[in-house]
Amino acid sequence: MRRRPPDPSGAVRRPRLASLRTTFAVSFATVTAVVTVLVGVLSYNAAARLVRVDQETVFDQVVSDLRDEVRQQRMSPPDFSSSAPGHDIVRPARTDVQVLGPGGEVSDASSPRLPVTGADRRTAGTGPAGRMVQHEDVDVGDDVYRVATVSLGGGRGAVQVAQEFSDTEDLLRALQRQSLVLMAAVVTAAGLFGWWLARRITRRLVALTSAAEDVARTRRLGIQVPVTGYDEVGRLGRAFDRMLGRLAQSEEDQRRLVQDAGHELRTPLTSLRTNISLLRRIDELPPAAREELVADLGQEARELTDLVNELVDLAAGQSDTEPPQRVDVAALAHDVAVLSRRRTGREITVVRGGDTAVDGRPAMLTRALSNLVENATKFDREGVAPVEIAVTGPVPAGPRPASGGIVAPAGPVRIEVRDRGPGIEEGDLTRVFDRFYRSTDARSRPGSGLGLSIVREVALAHAGAPFAFRRDGGGSVIGFTVTGAVPDEDQGPAGAAD
C-alpha cells in the first residue's frame, strides 16, 4: 500500500468535508429528482397507454361498423367513391379509405396511396361479404399506418380502411420531450430552492460554529453568541450561550477562589515558617516558651488543615454532580443535631413545621446544616442555652377549615439555626457570607471564614437564598431557604426573599 508523501510545507492536511449546506441542497435536489422522474414516467406511460388504446378502439369500431354495413346491404365500389354524393357519410371519420375493384385493382385511391398485397386482392375477389384481413405497421412514405381490408362480397371488390398512428407517436414523443424539459426545470428549481433553504437554515449554524472556533482559538469565554429564533437551532444557540456563561462563571469562581485561598494561606504559612525557624533554637528556649511554641505549631497546623478542608468542600460544592432527589430536610437536621451533640456535648434541638420535603442534593444540604451548627457552637462556646435548628415548610394543601381560615400557600422550606451567642454586628450582617470574611470579634477565634460561604453556595444551588439577622434577646439567626426544585441547566439560581 502506497503512502501519500508528506507535505513539504509541514502543514497538516485536513480532509475536505462537504458542507451541510451543500449536502442539504444535493439531498433536496436528489429527492425531488427521484420523485419527479418517477411521477413523470408513470404519468407519461399512463397517458401514452390511454392514447394508444383510444386510437385502437376507434379503429376497431370503424372496421366493425364497416363489416356490419357491407353484410347488411349489397354495396359496390362506387358506393365508397370519394366523388360520390354523401361520401363523407360512407367514408368513416379519422381514417383514410381506399377502394379496390373485383380484381384487386385500385378504383379509388386514398391520399396517400395505400399498398395492396396479395391477401388484399384475394379478399377483394372473395364471395362472402365482411371478410377482413388486417395489416399492422404498414409504411406509407414517412408515416406508419394500420390497414384493414374488408370484402364487399360476391367478388365485387373490397374497401381498405387505414389509420395513421405515427402522428400519435409523434405527439407522444413531443409530450415526452416536454416532460423531460419540465422535469429538468423542476429538478433545477428544487436544487436552487434547496440551496437557498439550506443557506437560510445553516446561516445560524455557521455563526455558532464561528463562535465555537473563536472560543477554541482565543480561549475567551465572554464572546457574543448570535441567538435568534425559537426552533432547534435557536435552542442550540441559547444552550451554547448558557454553557459559555456557566464556564465563564466557573472560571471566574476558580480564579477568585485561588486568589482568596492564596491570600488566606500566606498568614498561617508565614507563622509556621517563623515557628519552624525557632525550632532550631528550641534548646535555648525556656520550658514555658517551648510548650507555647509547640502549642502554636499544633494550633496553626489544625487551622491550616481546617482551611484546606473547607477549600476542598467549597470547590466540591461548586461542581457537585450529586443527582437531586426527594429529601426531608427536617430528617437531615436531626442527623446533623445527633452528630453535633456527640462532637461538642452541646444540647441541640430540632423544631419542624409544615412539609419539609424538597427536591435537593442531600450531601450538600447536610454540609450546609453542619456548617451552620458548627458556626453557632463556635461563637456560643460558653453558652448554656440549646442551639435550635428550625425547619419550616409550606402547609400541605387541603380543604378549607371549617372556621373559614385561609390555608397557607405553598412556599420555600426555611432552615434557621438560632444561638444565644454574642450576635452579629449590624455592619457585618451583609458580609458574613463572603469568602474568608471574618468580623473583628471573630478573628481571634478559630476558623477560616469559609463555612458560611459554603452555606451561600448550597442555598443558591437549590434556588434559595441565605439570610442572617440578630435574634431578639441576644444571639443570631443564620440560615437559608430552599425552593423545592433544583435549578436545571436552563435556569440560573434564583434567590428567594427571606
Is 100:84 a contact under the CB 8 Å cutoff?
Answer: no
In terms of domains, do 55 and 174 share one? Answer: yes
In terms of domains, do 63 and 175 share one? Answer: yes
| pLDDT recorded at residue 352 | 92
Partner residues linked to 61 by β-bridges: none
**Could you say which of 300, 319, 338 is where a domain stops?**
319
Q: How far apart are CA 365 and CA 332, in angstroms?
A: 8
In terms of domains, do 287 and 428 share one? Answer: no
In terms of domains, do 304 and 429 share one? Answer: no
Residue 328: which CATH number? 3.30.565.10
pLDDT along the chain (498 residues), means of 10: 49 53 78 84 83 81 86 85 58 74 86 87 86 86 85 89 76 81 84 81 79 80 74 81 82 73 68 78 78 78 72 60 85 91 85 90 87 84 83 72 41 89 77 67 53 84 89 88 64 39
- Helix, strand, or coil here: 433? coil
Q: Which pairing describes strands 413-418 and 357-360: parallel, antiparallel, or unpaired? A: unpaired
Is 386:369 a contact under the CB 8 Å cutoff?
Answer: no
Domain annotation covers residue 431: yes
| pLDDT recorded at residue 45 | 84
Q: How far is CA 101 from CA 7, 75, 463, in A?
A: 92, 12, 110
Residue 297: which CATH number? 1.10.287
Domain annotation covers residue 357: yes
In terms of domains, do 179 and 37 share one? Answer: yes
| pLDDT recorded at residue 452 | 83
Domain annotation covers residue 35: yes
In terms of domains, do 363 and 494 share one? Answer: yes
The number of CA neighbours under 13 Å toward the Cβ of 257 is 21
In terms of domains, do 47 and 139 share one? Answer: no
Q: How far is CA 396 from CA 233, 393, 400, in A?
A: 42, 9, 12
Q: Which pairing describes strands 387-392 and 348-353: parallel, antiparallel, or unpaired? A: parallel
Domain annotation covers residue 454: yes
The number of CA neighbours under 13 Å toward the Cβ of 446 is 16
Is 412:391 a contact under the CB 8 Å cutoff?
Answer: no
In terms of domains, do 432 and 361 share one? Answer: yes
**Could you say which of 145, 174, 203 is where a domain stops?**
203
| pLDDT recorded at residue 390 | 94
In terms of domains, do 22 and 148 share one? Answer: no
Domain annotation covers residue 214: no
| pLDDT recorded at residue 498 | 34
Q: How far apart are CA 412 and CA 255, in angstroms?
A: 32
**Could you say which of 297, 319, 341 is where a domain stops?**
319
In terms of domains, do 178 and 52 share one? Answer: yes
Q: How far apart are CA 297 and CA 334, in angstroms?
A: 36
Kindly report the pTM of this predicted structure: 0.45
Residue given cell 508528506 in the structure block:
6
Task: Name the domain count of the chain.
Answer: 4
Q: Which pairing describes strands 96-100 and 158-164: parallel, antiparallel, or unpaired? A: antiparallel
Domain annotation covers residue 10: no
- Write out the DSSP string of 50-111: HHHHHHHHHHHHHHHHHHHHHHHS---GGGG-TTSTTHHHHSPTTSEEEEE-TTS-EEE--S
Is 181:121 a contact under the CB 8 Å cutoff?
Answer: no
In terms of domains, do 497 and 438 share one? Answer: yes
| pLDDT recorded at residue 320 | 56
Domain hosting 347: range is: 322-395+410-498
* Contacts of residue 162, Cβ cutoff 8 Å, sequence gap at least 6: 95, 96, 97, 98, 110, 114, 138, 140, 145, 146, 147, 148
| Closest listed residue to residue 172, CA positions, set 323, 304, 55 | 55
Is 494:487 a contact under the CB 8 Å cutoff?
Answer: yes
Residue given cell 465555537 in the structure block:
212
Domain annotation covers residue 210: no
In terms of domains, do 127 and 240 share one? Answer: no
Domain annotation covers residue 400: no
Crossing angle for the helix pair 287-318 and 362-379, to the nearest 10 degrees:
150
